[in-house]
Amino acid sequence: MKRLTALLDKILEVILSIMVVLMVFGCVYQIFTRFVLQNPSDWTEEFVKYVLIWTTMLGVPYAYGRDKHISIGFVTGTFTPKGLAMDKIFNDILILLISVVIMIAGGIMVTSNAAGQVSAALQIPMQVYYSGVPVSGVLMVLYSIPRLMDHAAELKNSCEEVK
């Protein structure tokens, strides 16, 4: 399972890096066409907006998997090792449930509702854009399962140390 998350990390690093570069080029091109050519591009604003959405949807599971998400350390810093492990397990279960119910199931519903719609400037099916939510949910599940197993092992170890 660790090898899967390590592979996901590498793939997401490459994809996210490419997406950031695409956003920068899109913004620079938009500025160039607007202020130098005096003829703003029709598609760059929409392109950058949707690349930003996908960057966010892929960046959230990446940050979660690398344990780089925002946390409130001053609260958990007062926990015992057992309490900290229990808190991590609770958080992982909550994230797993939200990922499955809201992001995957809800994202599939939203994506299917967008059938037949196309974006204004790029004429790309809106399902391509909305599918970022269930994809992000699947990635969150793939990251949360090994984390949950690790935190369960931490809880077991902290319980054994107390005895």
Which of 158, 141, 146, 67 is CA-nearest to residue 103? 141
Spatial contact of 85 and 151, defined as CB atoms under 8 Å apart? yes
Q: Using alpha carbons, list the distances in angstroms from residue 93 to 34, 50, 152.
A: 48, 30, 11
In one-letter notation, the amino acid at residue 44 is: T
Backbone angles phi, psi at 39, to 5 degrees: -145, 85
pLDDT at 20: 98
pLDDT at 72: 66
pLDDT at 4: 86
| Res. 67 pLDDT band, cuts 50 70 90 | confident
Q: Is the pTM of this model over 0.75?
A: yes
Q: What is the pLDDT of residues 19-59, one digit of tens each?
A: 999 999 999 999 999 999 999 999 999 999 999 999 999 99
Q: What is the pLDDT of residues 68-114, one digit of tens each?
A: 887 767 777 788 889 989 999 999 999 999 999 999 999 999 999 99
Backbone angles phi, psi at 37, to 5 degrees: -85, -10
Domain boundaries, the chain: 2-162
Handedness of CA 17, 19, 20, 26 (dihedral sign): positive
